[in-house]
Each structure stands twice: as C-alpha cells, then as structure tokens.
Amino acid sequence: FTSQKSDNINISLIDITGKLMISKKLHALSGVNSTDVNTSQLPSGIYILNIETTDGIIRKQVVK
C-alpha cells in the first residue's frame, strides 16, 4: 500500500461473519509500504482486509 505521509496504521482481517481474525499495528513511512499477514492458520474463504490510517480506511476483499 502507499501512504502519503508517515503514519501509524492498523491492519485487520475480518471473515464474512464479521469476526476479527487478525489485527496488526505498524508504522508506515511516506511512500510504498509492505507487510506480511500470516493466514496459514485460517480456513479457506473470503475475508475483508482493512488498512486504517488517520486519513481513512482502505478495504479490499481477499480470497484464501
């Protein structure tokens, strides 16, 4: 993901029932950032990935 500024962010992965499966906090730098989210313990299915910054929320559908 790309951040316009240095910012603290929250990353969460939610299943289709709304249950929080993974939550991760990190510091993003201005520019392109990346992080790993370990989903090896999660069952196959559809999830919503949320990336929350002080400027808003990015939501993406993820299929495992």
pLDDT digits (tens, 9 = 90+) for 27-56: 999 999 999 999 999 999 999 999 999 889
CATH code of the domain in which 18 resides: 2.60.40
Tell me which residue range forms the domain holding 29: 2-36+43-63
- The structure's pTM equals 0.85
Q: What is the 3-state secondary structure (H, E, C) of the chain?
A: CEECCCEEEEEEEEECCCCEEEEEEEEECCEECCCCCCCCCCCCCEEEEEEEECCEEEEEEEEC
Domain count, the chain: 1
Residue 4 confidence (pLDDT) above 90: no
